[in-house]
Amino acid sequence: MCASSMSPRCCPWKRSRTPTRCRSEPWRDRPGRHRLRRGRRHAPQRSTGACRGAGRLAVSLAEHPLVRAAAATGGAGPGITPLFLRHADRAGIEQVHLFDASGRALMAVSAGGLPPVASFPLERALSGALGVSTAIGGGARHMLVAAPVRAADARPAGALVLVVDAARIELGWSGHPQAIRFTDAAGRVFATNRSELLQPPPGAERVLAALPGEPGRHDLWRLDAGPYLPDIALHLERPLPLVGLTAEVLADAAPGLRAAGLWALVVLALALAAGGVGLALAARRRVLAERLAHQAALSVELEARVATRTRELSQANAALRREVAERSEAERALKRAQEDLVQAGKLAALGKMSAGISHELNQPLMAIRTYAENGALLLARGRAETAGENLTRIGELAARMGRIIRNLRAFARQESVPAGRVDLVAVVDTVLEMATAPLAQADVQVDWPRPAAPVAVLGGEVRLQQVVMNLVSNAIDAMRAGAERRLSIRIEQVSPGGPVRLRLADTGPGLADPERVFDPFYSTKSVGGDEGMGLGLSISYGIVQSFGGAIRGRNLPGGGAEFTVDLAAWGAEQAA
């Protein structure tokens, strides 16, 4: 085979070209053929392998929680510098730079700033892709690899840039038997395993020439640059768009010139190299596709969980609203039942006192009748002045009857007005007046030092009358079998500005179980008969609590029971 018509890449020291035709002979050197094949295949992998290694490290560091937190908050945490130093020392990274989403530098682990060409990989990384480029100049050669730092929603929140010295890359293949170099678009050498290829040796124009080829042939270079470069080299090159370089191999052409199948095997080597790059790109695409599919699956799962949770919360909210409505209805029903019980208790108390009430009304009626008859006789006899006295007594008795009936009517009505100002002294007077007959029938002495001035408390007049009436009736029933029957009633101020306390003490046998005295259906009376159902004190407890007060019962040390009712003073309640 003869040299190819493809022109070699221009470089500063490859200026002299001597037209020479080189005919190849049959290729009988099989080991040499394998060396050419390996050189053609491995040269691109030297750079792409270093790029992939640096890319994997950049992606791994970019996904580290400390790096993601620093990019998100715009400030480096205390542990991020040791992290960068540890990985840089292990992988031979010269510089590590961290940027936020706007391209502003957050921190750097290096001796200096980024090379000027770092904008290209940085822009790639900030757009969400892996960026790779090279920087040659000022006697330094670097490879820059930039990886995106993603936020929680997978959008780029910054970029991580690794700077690798080309000398570090060259260490791995400095002993390769074939001369290899990588050049950029301007023909500048980025990396090589032969120092003679970095700069043109003295007399390059004289010792270096290319053999022009014919169609279908490859370039042959004639070199005279020292013992480490072949005299006649087969020049092979392969563009590497992934890193922006061109891989060039200067293989010893002596064995190839003896091989008849050089062209076919070189083409095969090129195909293998292209296949390797294609496999690498396919693997990278597959990894990206798997990552995108995984993210899509996670997104679908998250949406399903959110929908399920939203549905559960909606159902729980609806159930809670139903429960609130049911409880509100139950509270209204309970309030109505309590009002009905209060009314029933008042009517029961009236029924129980009906005999005494009828006696209280019958006495004034009989007296009125007697005074009326006597008044008529006195008028007939001309004693008008005495008859006038009888009429005055008739008016007083009628007023007393009216007062009794008015108190009964007020006690029997169902009070629905809110709590307000009530004279507690007037409440006690009204109850004692209505209970005059039961007290007299049971021969109960009432010890009631009536305060001279009204005592205003917060409550409802009719409901407070029912509470006091219930306590008085219970005291009368408790003292029926006793020898001494005395009911003591006191109104006192607990403390300055504090509540007003009403105390009712009897001389009965006391309470069997003071802790349960206010429980529903717990009666302080004997079982059987028509003494009641045990709801009076429970109803009284609810009434006092509705006024913001408290009612208590206890046994006195000397015998008997005492009930106390604490109510808020009207003046103190208004001030609050």
Asked if residue 74 belongs to a domain, the reply is yes
Task: State both tokens at 24.
Answer: 């190849």
Residue 576: name the closest of 492, 463, 464, 458 by CA. 458
- Backbone φ and ψ for 191, nearest 5 degrees, come out as -150, 150
Cα angle 57-63-64, degrees, rounded to a multiple of 5 = 90
Q: Where are the beta strands (DSSP E) in 478-538?
A: 486-493, 500-505
- How many other β-carbons are positioned within 10 Å of the β-carbon of residue 390? 21
Q: Is residue 240 one of the residues assigned to a domain?
A: no
Q: What is the length of the chain?
A: 576
Instruction: Say how far apart CA 412 and CA 343 lie, in whole Å.
Output: 7
Q: How many CB atoms lie within 10 A of CB 149?
A: 29
Place of tokens 């560091």: 61
Tell whether pTM > 0.75.
no
Q: In what order do the strands lie in the sheet with 140-150?
A: 105-109, 95-100, 156-165, 140-150, 131-137
> What pLDDT score does 79 carry?
82
Amino acid at position 275, single letter: G
Query: In 3-state terms, what secondary structure has residue 461?
Result: helix
Q: Is residue 146 part of a domain?
A: yes
Strand pairing category for 486-493 and 445-447: parallel
The last residue of one of the domains, among 173, 190, 221, is 173
201 found inside a domain = no
Confidence (pLDDT) at 261: 61
Instruction: Give the CB-side neighbour count of residue 366, counting CA atoms within 13 A.
Output: 6
| Helix (H) or strand (E) segment spanning residue 221 | strand 219-222
| Gap between the Cα atoms of 251 and 43, Å rounded | 11
In the prediction, which pLDDT does 5 show? 32
Structural domain total, the chain: 2
* Residue 283 counted as domain residue: no
| Exposed / middle / buried, residue 163 (Cβ in 10 Å: 0-12, 13-18, 19+) | buried
Q: Which of 153, 173, 193 is the last residue of a domain?
A: 173
Q: Could you write out the three-class secondary structure of 175-209? A: CCCCEEEEECCCCCEEEECCHHHCCCCCCHHHHCE
| Cα angle 192, 142, 163; round to 5 | 135
In a domain, 305, yes or no: no
Chain CA centroid to CA 402, Å = 70
**CATH code, domain with 74:** 3.30.450.20
Residue 575's pLDDT is 47
146 beta partners: 131, 161
Q: Where do we find the tokens 């509705």? A: 546
pLDDT for the residue numbered 471:
92
Q: Which two tokens stand for residue 191?
A: 């990396």
CA-closest candidate to residue 124, choices 44, 242, 240: 242
Domain closes at, from 144, 173, 202: 173
Task: Determine the pLDDT at residue 355.
Answer: 53
User: Residue 529 falls within a domain, yes or no?
Assistant: yes
Closest CA to 500 of 547, 467, 549: 549
- Which bin fits 265, alpha (ψ -120 to 50), beta or left (φ > 0)? alpha
CATH code, domain carrying 552: 3.30.565.10
CA distances from 51 to 1, 97, 164, 241, 487 (A): 35, 17, 9, 12, 105
Residue 524 Cα distances to 199, 476, 550, 563, 564, angstroms: 118, 12, 19, 13, 16
306 found inside a domain: no
Asked if 115 and 142 count as a contact pair (C-beta separation under 8 A), the reply is yes
| 404-408 long-range contacts, CB within 8 A, separation 24+ | 404/357, 404/360, 404/361, 404/433, 404/434, 405/361, 407/433, 407/434, 408/350, 408/357, 408/434
Q: What is the pLDDT along the chain (576 residues), one digit of tens a residue?
A: 333 333 333 333 333 333 333 333 333 445 544 555 555 555 556 556 666 777 788 888 888 888 888 888 887 778 888 888 888 887 778 888 889 888 888 888 875 666 654 677 888 888 888 888 888 877 778 888 888 999 888 889 899 898 888 777 777 666 677 778 788 777 788 788 777 777 654 443 333 444 454 433 466 777 666 666 776 777 777 887 766 778 777 777 666 666 656 677 778 888 888 888 888 888 888 889 888 988 888 888 898 899 999 999 999 999 999 999 888 888 888 777 766 666 666 566 556 556 556 655 666 777 677 767 777 887 888 888 877 877 887 777 677 677 667 666 655 565 556 778 999 999 999 889 888 888 888 899 999 999 999 999 998 888 888 889 889 988 998 898 888 899 999 999 888 888 999 999 999 998 888 888 887 766 666 544 445 555 678 878 888 888 889 999 999 998 899 999 999 998 765 545
CB 25 within 8 A of CB 257: yes
Under a CB-based contact definition with an 8 Å cutoff, are residues 375 and 391 in contact?
yes
Q: Which domain holds residue 81?
A: 43-173
